[in-house]
Homo-oligomer: A and B are copies of this chain.
Amino acid sequence: AQTVRLAVLPGDGIGPEVVAEGLKVLDVVAADLGLAVERTEYDLGARRWHATGETLPDSALEEIRGHDAILLGAVGDPGVPSGVLERGLLLRLRFELDQYVNLRPSRLLPGVASPLAEPGDIDLVVVREGTEGPYTGNGGALRVGTPHEVATEVSVNTAFGVERVVRDAFARAQARPRRKLTLLHKHNVLAYAGHLWRRTVEAVGAEHPDVAVDYAHVDAAMIYLVTDPARFDVVVTDNLFGDIVTDLAAAVTGGIGLAASGNVDPTRRSPSMFEPVHGSAPDIAGTGRADPTATVLSVAMLLEHLGHPDAAERVVRAVGDDLAARAGAGPRTTSETGDAIAAALA
């Protein structure tokens, strides 16, 4: 039997609540597959920071590095200054573990009400670069607090970093039925970075004659995502544009409560990390109102990454059935939803 060493970071707010349901579903599927899941839980996030001032101690990072995968709930609470946990924990994990493919699928599942009047058949995946761009923290500030302050943020893009994520996106496009890849950027203004991305997509595209390639400026993509989201199949883009566009893609496919993600190191040198796109939602923590569906779908991505695509697809189908069953019914608690999906899979 395969043994999977899973690092679990429940985090703050609704994080532990949704992670519990994700693990419930994982347990059912693992039993079925004969997978032994060895979990280690890490207490990281706002609670830890308030108690000790630590975000991600080096020792915890090194331990986490020894796992096969990571499941993260959500971190943060309003008492932690902006950026502390983002830079010190979440982005540190993505960068240190070289999770350069931030994978964010958006499908309009059965039974889900889109806020769009005519959503069409949405099934896209954004391959967001995860280790470069404006997220590198390469900025600075001068004369802070004076009328002469200058604050800069530097987007760093390397041929190495762009090529590897573009290759990953093409491989995914090649494996999907529609075989379409859209580069999303703003090369008419961000010319240096834009030209690197364009040239890379052209060069890698030449090796994939089967994949139809197009381009959209990030601003125009906003319009397409509300008027014709079905036009997108695989979208490849930088770290910041990917952050923005995936929230919109989530919004038009039923909301952030359903949006799953994987921070993937395709080389498998480091563990990949799966997490719902939503935050820790302190306002509803403890009320049982959190929807664990995004975490369950993140577990499906984890299963796929571990080499179990059929099991992953079964989870997605169970979620789809559950969403259809839920439509029009009264509100459910977090654990009722987890129970329903787990029962359907048992």
Question: Which residues of A are in contact with B by a Cβ distance under 8 Å?
Answer: 82-83, 86-87, 91, 113-118, 134-135, 137, 139-141, 143-160, 163, 186-196, 199, 218-220, 222-223, 226-227, 240, 243-248, 250-252, 255-256
Known: A147-B159, A151-B192. 20 other contacts (CB 8 A): A83-B191, A86-B189, A87-B191, A114-B117, A115-B227, A116-B226, A143-B159, A145-B199, A150-B158, A150-B159, A151-B195, A152-B157, A153-B155, A153-B157, A153-B190, A153-B193, A222-B247, A222-B248, A223-B250, A223-B255
Q: Report B-chain residues with C-beta under 8 Å of the C-beta of A116.
A: 115-117, 226
Beyond A83-B189, A150-B158, is A141–B195 a contact (Cβ under 8 Å)?
Answer: yes
Q: Report B-chain residues with C-beta under 8 Å of the C-beta of A145.
A: 199
Which B residue sits closest to A198, measured CB to CB? B82
| Distance A135 CA – B84 CA, assembled complex (angstroms) | 27
Looking at the assembled complex, report how far the CB atom of A158 sits from the nearest CB atom of chain B, in whole angstroms: 5
Q: Are B151 and A189 in contact (CB under 8 A)?
A: no
Beyond A115-B226, A157-B152, A159-B147, is A140–B247 a contact (Cβ under 8 Å)?
Answer: no
Beyond A141-B195, A159-B149, A192-B139, is A255–B227 a contact (Cβ under 8 Å)?
Answer: yes
Q: Are B156 and A155 in contact (CB under 8 A)?
A: no
Q: Are B141 and A150 in contact (CB under 8 A)?
A: no
Looking at the assembled complex, report how far the CB atom of A283 sits from the nearest CB atom of chain B, in whole angstroms: 14
Looking at the assembled complex, report how far the CB atom of A88 sits from the nearest CB atom of chain B, in whole angstroms: 11
| Distance A137 CA – B155 CA, assembled complex (angstroms) | 12
Which B residue sits closest to A227, measured CB to CB? B115
Q: Report B-chain residues with C-beta under 8 Å of the C-beta of A255.
A: 223, 227
Q: Are B154 and A82 in contact (CB under 8 A)?
A: no
Q: Are B188 and A83 in contact (CB under 8 A)?
A: yes
Q: Which of A82, A187, A193 counts the most chain B CB atoms within 10 A?
A: A82
